[in-house]
Amino acid sequence: MKKEWLFPWIVLGVGIFLICPARSAGSWSQPNLTLHAPSAVLLDGTTGQILFEKNPEERFAPASLTKVMTLYLAFDALKRRDVKFDDQVLVSKRAWKMGGSQMFLEVGDRVKFIELIKGVATISANDGALAIAEFLTGSEEVFVHEMNEKARALGMEHTRFVNPHGLPREGQHTCAMDMAVLGLHYLHDHPEALEFHALRTYTYGGIKQKNWNPLLGLGVGVDGLKTGYLKTSGYHILFTAKKGDRRIIGVVMGADTADHRNNDALKLIGYGFKNFSNRALVKKGDVVARVDVPNGTPPQLALVAARSVVVTVPKAMEGSLPVREEIPSSVKAPIKQGEVVGKLVFEGEGFPSKEVDLLASQDVQVRSYVLYYALASAAVAGLLGLAFWRRRFSRRKRQ
């Protein structure tokens, strides 16, 4: 077998988005980060790997973090083209009566759908959230059912929604890990949503209000998502930040003050960017190896990676990413392009195991001997003809 690694920088570059959070933080002996909040989670936004966790499954009332799911369903509907940004939404009396943070909608107002999204994303408008729910499904109850269906589909095992805005309601609960999972999928499916979450202010009906996210504009890369507060559950934040080609997603829940919540989030952001990096182990389509194909045409076959794989690793481990090749010394023809011939296995302490199929880069046919027989027969016939001609010529010369 002849192997040919054409990419000696295999641990460099950009990989695909792997959106299933991987429990790997425990194998990295987490730092002793002193957080005031009782619960927190930090994920890498590309790989979904857990970089830090503290009581990740402790339950809290979600408060306004609930609205991230409301917006998720709103952008789902836009993507399906069930609704459009310019659709006019009629404000109901129920929406008008909502308390807390609000856009100050009036009964009978006709508001563009995009304005409701802006109001919910920036100023956490409770009236806007209920108006979205009623517009999309006709009733709050049906919308809440869809929220919980979506949560189950995303694997949010410790979450139950009771309303679309997060105001206190018995039976509504979540945890930091579930909220991190929600943020990860939300941004993966709808990256355009950040345009709204990053707005510093929002004005409706002549009333200008500031975005509730205190981390925006601090120079640490934060460009969304959502804060929340209830007296019974404390101060929450679901945030995302981007630096270069890296994105992180974090959650702080249950802080006793807004300052403690914000400081905890800033600690997590600094920790995530300074101590970890993303490394592409292999890219889709890379030629990883070549194998011999006895009696094949061609006689050697290039094997290519079926998919890209990127992992998040502590910077101290960047140069020690182990790989095991499971590649046969040779293969038999015929082989179809795209057929699985071998695989790469990446495994080691500090990141989840990954397997990548290696595919045949082209068709390989069984070598045909018909042509060789034809050529050999022609050669023999030619030699016999030449011998016959020379013999006849020699006889004529003697006569």
Give one DSSP letter per residue of 160-211, joined into a string. Answer: B-SSSS----TT-BB-HHHHHHHHHHHHHH-GGGHHHHT-SEEEETTEEEE-
Tokens of 134: 């009623």
**Residue 77 · residue 67 · CB < 8 Å:** no
Half-sphere exposure of 270 (CA within 13 A, CB side): 10
Tokens of 209: 């209000």
Is 336 labeled as catalytic in the residue annotation?
no
- Candidates 159, 164, 167; CA nearest to 136 is 164
> From the candidates 24, 39, 64, 101, which is the catalytic residue?
64
Using only the alpha carbons of the chain, give its radius of gyration.
31
> From the candidates 54, 67, 118, 226, which is the catalytic residue?
67
> From the candidates 101, 124, 233, 308, which is the catalytic residue?
124
CB burial string 93-111: b at 16+ within 10 A, e below: eebbebebbbbebeeebeb
Tokens of 187: 């941004």
**Residue 35 · residue 55 · CB < 8 Å:** no
Is 112 labeled as catalytic in the residue annotation?
no
Is 368 labeled as catalytic in the residue annotation?
no
Whole-angstrom CA distances from 263 to 22, 34, 39, 139 are 26, 10, 14, 39
Q: Tell me how far apart the alpha carbons of residues 390 and 396 are, in angstroms, rounded to a whole number.
A: 10
- Enumerate the active-site residues: 64, 67, 124
